[in-house]
């Protein structure tokens, strides 16, 4: 299960609206609690994919390196990633699976239709290696004691 | 000594550690020492042909070793190595 504060979820969904019709991407930093991943912060990244921004994303490894360092300094770790699918379902694609290598992490996909974030789904990258890796549907539990989330026009999943 | 930072998904194969200290003069030696100590890491880092997997990025401090001298990249006392699997995808 992925546990996330409503404002953080809203922030990553808004990111997809801001970059529409291009894909957005970013990193979820937090901690593990048993089988759960608990998100403490959402780090927006630039889409380093050069020529197919509308249907591909890449996070610059140097940016990941920086985020890893930051996480360590807070005694946290990278627990997942997110990206958007402009005008495409909020399901993982074959490209997503082929390019996913962070076993045990959550991958969030938000469908952004005509510039508005619709459904956000989470998938856990399960398996023990490249040979048997697979995405498993993961529950998103919205929780946290943050201020009242701005839901106006949000259309939460 | 060189500190090798192990990313989240590979920690279960490195005794649960986030960092491993090795004694090595080059990047190749450091990764060799790391996988000698934690053999389960090998298949995650290397393809069957013995080459580092394409999605595995290795950084000496802030620099990608692919653009340095790859395995032969020298290490000085206090250098750190970071293993960073790539993140990409799309619809």
Whole-complex ipTM:
0.93
Query: Among partner residues B62, B84, B91, which is closest to A64 by beta-carbon distance?
Result: B84
Residue in A88, A100, A129 nearest the CB of B91: A88
Whole-number Å distance between alpha carbons of A20 and A113: 9
Return d(Cα B79, Cα B58) in angstroms, integer.
Answer: 13
Q: How far is CA B42 from the centre of its chain?
A: 10
Query: What value does the mean pLDDT take over residues A40-57?
Result: 93
What b/e string do you get for A53-75 counting C-beta neighbours within 10 Å, with b at 16 or more?
bbbbbbbbbebbbebbeebeeee
What are A91-113's pLDDT values in tens digits?
999 999 999 999 999 999 999 99
d(CA A80, CA A9) in angstroms, rounded, equals: 13
pLDDT score at A145: 58
Q: What is the pLDDT along chain B (91 residues), one digit of tens a residue?
A: 999 999 999 999 999 999 999 999 999 999 999 999 999 999 999 999 999 999 999 999 999 999 999 999 999 999 999 999 999 998 8
Chain A residues close to B18, C-beta within 8 Å: 72, 77
Min CA distance, B25 vs chain A (Å)?
Answer: 22
């Amino acid at each position: 299960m992925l546990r996330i504060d409503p404002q953080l979820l809203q922030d990553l969904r808004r990111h997809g609206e801001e970059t529409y019709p291009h894909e957005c991407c970013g990193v979820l930093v937090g901690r593990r609690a048993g089988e759960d991943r608990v998100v403490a912060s959402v780090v927006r990244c630039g889409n380093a994919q050069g020529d197919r921004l509308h249907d591909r994303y890449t996070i610059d490894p140097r940016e990941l390196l920086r985020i890893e360092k930051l996480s360590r300094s807070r005694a946290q770790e990278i627990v997942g990633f997110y990206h958007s699918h402009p005008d495409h379902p909020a399901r993982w694609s074959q490209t997503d699976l082929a390019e996913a290598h962070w076993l045990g992490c959550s991958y969030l996909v938000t469908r952004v239709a005509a510039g508005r974030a619709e459904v956000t789904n989470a998938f856990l990258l399960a398996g023990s290696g490249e040979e048997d890796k697979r995405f498993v549907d993961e529950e998103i539990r919205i929780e946290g004691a943050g201020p009242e989330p701005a839901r106006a026009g949000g259309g939460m999943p | 000594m060189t500190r090798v930072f192990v990313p989240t998904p590979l920690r279960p194969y490195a005794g649960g550690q986030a960092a491993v200290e090795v004694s090595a003069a080059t990047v190749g030696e450091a990764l060799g020492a790391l996988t000698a100590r934690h053999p389960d890491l090998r298949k995650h880092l290397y393809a069957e042909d013995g080459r580092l997997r394409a999605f595995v990025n290795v950084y000496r401090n802030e620099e990608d070793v692919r653009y340095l001298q790859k395995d032969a990249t020298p290490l000085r006392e206090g250098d750190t190595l970071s293993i960073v699997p790539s993140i990409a995808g799309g619809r």
